[in-house]
Amino acid sequence: MKVVIVSGGFDPVHVGHIRMFKDAAYLADKEAQVNQGKVIVALNSDEWLERKKGKAFMPFEERKEILQSIKHVSNVIAFEDSDDTACEAIKQVHKKYGHLTTSMFEDDMICFANGGDRIVGNVPSEESTLCEELGIKMLWNIGGVKVQSSSSLVENFEAREYAYINKKGEEDESTADSDD
C-alpha cells in the first residue's frame, strides 16, 4: 500500500490542486482492486493562511468539506502548523502508517508529495530532514508545472472589483444584479 501526503492551504481550490490530487491518487494506486492506496491532504489552518497571505479567503471547515468531496482524496487532516511546516502532519501520518516504511514489500511506502512550484530548496528543510529520518519518500512536480495560484485568483478577483468600482466612480447599473 502507498500513502501519499499532500499539504497546503487550498484557499481556494483550483485546477492545479485537482491535477496534484489526481497525480497523487495515481501514484498511490488509489483505484487498485487490492491494496488500495491513500491520498491524505494535510490542510493548513486559517491562522497559517493569515500569516502567509494576510487572510483566509475560505474558513478551514469549508475548505475541508470541499476537499473531502474530491474523489482523488482519501482523507483530510488538520495539524499543528504554527512553525509554518507540515512536519506535524507528516508525523501524524507516520504514526498511523509508519509500518509501511519498514515493510518487506517494495510497493509499501509513505510519500510526501510536492506540487509543480516546489523544488529542493524552496520547501522547509525541516520537512526534508523529517522525511529522511522517518523513511518517507519525497516526490516532486506532482500535478505538473504550476498553472494557477490561489493567491492570484483572490487578488485578481479583488482587483477587478476594485478597478470596476473606481473606474466609473459609481456602480454601473447595466451590470448590477437585478431581480428579473
Residue 169 clears pLDDT 70, i.e. is over it: no
Cis peptide before 12 (omega within 30 of 0): yes
- Cell (9 digits) for 33: 482492486
Is the Cα torsion angle 122, 78, 81, 131 positive or negative in sign?
Answer: negative
pTM: 0.80
Residue 129 lies in a domain: yes
Residue 35: CATH number of its domain: 3.40.50.620
Count of structural domains, the chain: 1
Q: Cβ distance 113 to 142 under 8 Å? A: yes
Tell me the pLDDT tens digit for each residue of 13-56: 988 899 999 999 999 987 776 678 999 999 999 999 999 989 89
Q: What is the mean pLDDT of the chain?
A: 83
pLDDT number for residue 36: 86
Strands of 10-164, DSSP E: 38-43, 75-78, 109-115, 137-142
Residue 98 corresponds to which amino acid? G
pLDDT number for residue 155: 65
Q: Cβ distance 77 to 43 under 8 Å? A: yes
Residue 173 lies in a domain: no
Residue 82 lies in a domain: yes
Q: How far apart, in whole angstroms, are the C-alpha atoms of residue 146 and residue 136? A: 24
Residue 152 lies in a domain: yes
Residue 175 lies in a domain: no
No. of H helices and E strands in the chain? 6, 5
Residue 148 lies in a domain: yes
pLDDT number for residue 145: 65
Residue 174 lies in a domain: no
| Structural domain boundaries enclosing 43 | 2-168
Residue 176 lies in a domain: no
Residue 91 clears pLDDT 90, i.e. is over it: yes
Q: How far apart, in whole angstroms, are the C-alpha atoms of residue 48 and residue 62? A: 16
pLDDT number for residue 107: 87
Q: How far apart, in whole angstroms, are the C-alpha atoms of residue 40 and residue 74? A: 6
- Cell (9 digits) for 125: 528543510
